[in-house]
């Protein structure tokens, strides 16, 4: 009735911002529980970072309990993130600044903890120390260094060369130099580096979204506030943070008619981690669009892109005196077979069958599937490149990187961020954005922390932790509805009282 009266009298209801504080607190509590669960079920810390408390050792010996704690935190974080996404879609949703503040709140509990899902940060520190000591990290593994920085490097990576570019090795070397070779300080230093990368994403992703016709707050929610970013880029300090940050800023500059500076930054991103080089291909049509004349613009833009990237790469290589050994080491990640890689799984299945039939080595079949997957990814990227005018360069890049990841020989959850971040900024289709959001939830829940082995106990703990949060949420929602709809019948209606709609005259 109040709404009808307002309409008749020419008054409109004043929209209020969707509340975010409650979800911000819920997510922060979830992150804190995840951080605590990481001490129980995360990557086992050794040496300087070991926490030798008898109670902690006893709890780590109970995987069902330790995993349930961590998964309860994950469920709270995911619930808060999803609720914020609902409020972002509202007409008066949270602002970009509110979302950035929320991201800072949620990331804060991960500031000083040991890694949870992956111990790659220890490899980064060892490789940085090797660079400082004059050892060639592209020829020998961390075992050649020795000392406390190598104690936590997984055995599989002790003797393998670094697959990262010279820019990242120099950054890692700077961190180890500034932190004096300490493990705890080094982890925090690498996390600060990752936070700088995430900061570049927080600055560039909403601006890319504005150029691509996507609401900036929606892109911020999906591409920066995403739990995968918090858990794997912040908590585990993966170098994808720096790669993606430089790549997105480079894309933004290219779209803003600063292609040379954009290509330089994208090349630096590729010299952190190689997949960013794919972005160079999608910058070519962006540059060509702004060149004079009608004939040969793509060819001219391609030549200039290659020239700027080559000069940048040679300058960095000369300045760091690193050589191109990192190119030979790009297959280092394939030493670890991951169940999330489709080509690895298909290659193993086909290889096992062929081995039984004619004795062919399973590894040979797996490598053949890897090669076929890379060829397929290249074909998909070529098709996307030819249709970039219709798809848009940023969305095409996201789809191209998705093809590269899904057909690649190694797939980790944080690898999906290569595609997720550009798609968050550029994908306008509701189906694509919904698929990315649902995929985020699935990836967060299916990846166990690094301190437990897959098994019945771990699965039981995950189910118990998530179920406890879901049950508590349903109970709280039911009580909230009961309080909302239950009001004393003898309570008179008062203007401005409970249930009233505040209106103001239209101008």
Q: Would you write out the chain's pLDDT as a tens digit for each of its 507 residues?
A: 333 333 333 333 434 455 788 999 999 999 999 999 998 999 988 888 877 778 777 888 888 999 999 999 999 999 999 999 999 988 788 999 999 999 999 999 998 899 999 999 999 999 999 999 999 999 999 999 989 999 999 899 999 999 999 999 999 999 999 999 999 999 999 999 999 999 999 999 999 999 999 999 999 999 999 999 999 999 999 999 999 999 999 999 999 999 999 999 999 999 999 999 999 999 999 999 988 877 889 999 999 999 999 999 999 999 998 888 888 888 888 888 888 999 999 999 999 998 888 888 899 999 999 999 999 999 999 999 999 999 999 999 999 999 999 999 999 999 999 999 999 999 888 888 899 999 999 999 999 999 888 889 999 999 999 999 999 999 988 887 777 776 555 445 455 444 444 444 443
CB 246 within 8 A of CB 145: no
Q: Which residue has the tokens 């090797």?
A: 130
Whole-angstrom Cα distance, residue 476 to residue 258?
52
Q: Which of 176, 179, 164 is nearest to 125 (CA)?
A: 176
CB 283 within 8 A of CB 409: no
Rounded to 5°, the CA angle 323-187-228 comes to 90
Report the sign of the C-alpha dihedral through residues 281, 286, 287, 288, in that order. positive
- The count of other CB atoms within 10 Å of the CB of residue 359 is 7
CB-based contacts of 406: which residues, under 8 Å, 6+ apart?
A: 342
- The rounded distance, in Å, linking the Cα atoms of 221 and 198 is 13
Using a 10 angstrom Cβ sphere, with 0-12 exposed, 13-18 middle and 19 or more buried, the burial of residue 358 is: exposed
Residue 85 in tokens: 């996404």
239, two tokens: 């170098």
What's the distance, Cα to Cα, between the start and end of the chain in Å?
23
CA 402-217-244 angle, 5° bins: 40
Quickly count: other Cβ atoms within 10 Å of residue 439's Cβ.
15
Residue with tokens 């111990």: 119
Q: What is the CA radius of gyration of the chain?
A: 25
The contacts of residue 114 (CB under 8 Å, 6+ apart) are 38, 39, 42, 43, 45, 49, 187
Enumerate long-range contacts of 155-159, CB under 8 Å, 24 or more apart: 156/335, 156/336, 157/123, 157/332, 157/335
Helix, strand or coil, per DSSP, at residue 424 = helix
Separation of alpha carbons 439 and 96, rounded Å: 23
Cβ distance 287 to 254 under 8 Å?
yes
Q: What are the pLDDT digits (tens) for 344-390?
A: 999 999 999 988 888 888 999 999 999 999 999 999 999 999 999 99
pLDDT for the residue numbered 11:
39
Q: Are 286 and 254 in contact (CB under 8 A)?
A: yes
For residue 244, give both structure tokens. 């993606």
Contact 504, 111 (CB under 8 A): no
- Closest by Cα among 110, 112, 109, 104 to 24: 104
Question: What are the backbone angles phi and psi of residue 462, rounded to the nearest 5°?
Answer: -65, -45
* Counts for the chain of helices (H) and strands (E), in that order: 22, 2
**Tokens representing 367?**
């490598």
Q: Name every residue whose Cβ is closer than 8 Å to that of residue 88 and which is 6 or more positions away in sequence.
A: 18, 94, 99, 215, 217, 218, 221
CA distance 128 to 125: 5
Cα–Cα distance for residue pair 94/88, rounded to 1 Å: 6
Q: Is 249 exposed, middle or buried (0-12, 13-18, 19+ CB in 10 A)?
A: buried
Measured CA to CA in angstroms, residue 347 lies from 341, 351, 374, 406 at distances of: 10, 6, 13, 14
Given its phi and psi angles, is residue 499 left (phi above 0), alpha (psi -120 to 50 degrees) or beta? left
Kindly report the pTM of this predicted structure.
0.89
**CA angle, 40 as apex, 103 and 439 as ends, to 5°?**
45
The CA distance from 310 to 287, in Å, is: 17
**pLDDT at residue 222, as a whole number:** 96
Confidence (pLDDT) at 486: 64
């Amino acid at each position: 009735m109040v709404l009808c009266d307002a309409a008749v009298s020419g008054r409109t209801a004043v929209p209020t911002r969707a509340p975010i504080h409650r979800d911000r607190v819920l997510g922060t509590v979830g992150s804190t529980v995840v951080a605590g669960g990481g001490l129980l079920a995360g990557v086992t810390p050794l040496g300087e970072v070991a926490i030798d408390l008898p109670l902690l050792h006893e709890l780590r010996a109970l995987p069902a309990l330790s995993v349930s704690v961590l998964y309860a935190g994950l469920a709270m974080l995911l619930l808060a993130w999803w609720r914020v996404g609902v409020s972002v879609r509202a007409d008066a949703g949270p602002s970009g600044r509110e979302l950035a503040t929320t991201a800072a709140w949620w990331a804060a509990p991960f500031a000083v903890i040991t890694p949870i899902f992956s111990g790659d940060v220890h490899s980064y520190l060892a490789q940085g120390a090797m660079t400082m000591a004059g050892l060639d990290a592209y020829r020998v593994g961390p075992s050649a260094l020795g000392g406390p920085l190598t104690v936590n490097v997984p055995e599989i990576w002790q003797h393998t060369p670094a697959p990262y570019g010279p820019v990242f090795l120099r950054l890692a070397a700077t961190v180890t130099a500034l932190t004096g070779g300490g493990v705890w300080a080094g982890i925090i230093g690498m996390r600060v580096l990752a936070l700088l990368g995430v900061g570049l994403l927080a600055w560039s992703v909403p601006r890319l979204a504005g150029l691509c016709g996507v609401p900036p707050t929606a892109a911020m929610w999906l591409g920066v506030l995403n739990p995968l970013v918090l858990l794997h880029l912040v908590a585990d300090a993966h170098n994808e943070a720096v790669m993606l940050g430089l790549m997105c800023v480079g894309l933004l500059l290219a779209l803003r008619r600063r292609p040379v500076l954009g290509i330089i930054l994208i090349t630096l991103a590729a010299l952190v981690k190689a997949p960013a080089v794919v972005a160079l291909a999608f910058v070519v049509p962006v540059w060509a669009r702004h060149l004079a004349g009608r004939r040969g613009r793509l060819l001219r833009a391609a030549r200039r892109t290659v020239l700027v990237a080559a000069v940048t790469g040679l300058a960095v290589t000369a300045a760091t005196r690193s050589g191109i050994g990192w190119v030979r080491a790009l297959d280092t990640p394939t030493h670890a077979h991951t169940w999330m890689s489709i080509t690895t799984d298909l290659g193993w299945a086909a290889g096992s069958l062929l081995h039984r039939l004619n004795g062919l080595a399973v590894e040979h079949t797996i490598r053949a599937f890897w090669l076929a997957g890379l060829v397929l990814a290249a074909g998909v990227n070529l098709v996307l490149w030819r249709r970039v005018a219709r798809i848009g360069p940023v969305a095409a890049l996201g789809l191209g990187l998705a093809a590269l990841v899904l057909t690649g020989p190694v797939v980790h959850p944080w690898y999906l961020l290569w595609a997720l971040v550009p798609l968050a900024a550029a994908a306008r289709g509701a189906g694509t954005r919904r698929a990315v959001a649902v995929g985020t939830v699935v990836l967060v829940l299916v990846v166990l922390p690094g301190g437990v082995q897959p098994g019945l106990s771990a699965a039981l703990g995950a189910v118990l932790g998530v179920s406890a949060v879901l049950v508590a949420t349903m109970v709280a929602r039911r009580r909230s509805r009961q309080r909302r709809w239950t009001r004393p019948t003898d309570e008179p209606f008062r203007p401005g009282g409970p249930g009233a709609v505040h209106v103001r005259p239209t101008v």
